[in-house]
Homo-oligomer: A and B are copies of this chain.
Amino acid sequence: MPVSGSLETLKNKGYKVTSQRRAILRVLDGENRRLTAREIHAMMRDIQPRVSLDTIYRNLRLLVGIGILHQISLSSGAVFELNGDIRHHHHHLVCVECEKAVCVSYCPATREYSERAAEEGFTLLGHSFELFGRCADCSKKQN
Contacts and interface: CB of A to CB of B under 8 A. Distances in A.
* Integer count of this chain's copies in the complex: 2
A116 interface: yes
Given A14-B142, A65-B96, A113-B104, A126 B132 contact: yes
Interface in A59-84: 61, 64-67, 75
Given A61-B75, A93-B117, A130 B128 contact: yes
Interface residues of A, number: 36
A109 B131 contact: yes
10 contacts: A66-B132, A67-B132, A93-B117, A95-B122, A104-B113, A104-B117, A121-B136, A126-B132, A127-B129, A128-B132
